[in-house]
Amino acid sequence: MATPLEFSKVYKLLNAIKEGDETKRGALDLILNEYKSAKHAESFLHELAEGFLVVGIDELFVYTSSTDMKFIGTLTKEDWDKLAKKNNGELPVHLANTMINYFKDEKILDKLSAKWQKSIGEIEKHVMPMARYITEGLIDVLE
């Protein structure tokens, strides 16, 4: 049985950085670089989630025009409303759509299918739920 999909370590690091502990930035960067390479992914679901997590964090920075988690953590509802207007959508929908579009644009489906010997249909049925799952985790960090 594969290890459950669980990314609390990443979310805890993001939260610590948001709370002002910049010493955690290096550990977060190491994990995200590992996720980009997918060297340690245990299944296509792990690889998909890891990729979505990297894309989601990158897109959070693009959406807010900042890589400063402490600053992002201080954004008010009014600030988020302004960002939603500027970015033509609220953050959760924007993040999930960005992950799904990345998946399509980078032809990840074909890569995962070949690497993990899974059918395209089997992988496709997990794309939207996984994007939601990762988005929920990121939003929880921001709240």
**72: in domain:** yes
Q: What is the pLDDT of residues 65-124, one digit of tens each?
A: 999 999 999 999 999 999 999 999 999 999 999 999 998 888 888 999 999 999 999 999
Mean pLDDT across 4-18: 90
Q: What is the pLDDT of residues 120-139, one digit of tens each?
A: 999 999 999 999 999 999 99
Question: Which domain does 93 fall in, by range?
Answer: 8-142
Mean pLDDT across 36-57: 92
The pTM assigned to this predicted structure is 0.91
Beta strands in the chain (DSSP E): none
**3: in domain:** no
Read off the DSSP letter of residue 69: H
Which pair of structure tokens corresponds to residue 108?
A: 């990840």
- Cα 90–95–100 angle (5° rounding)? 130
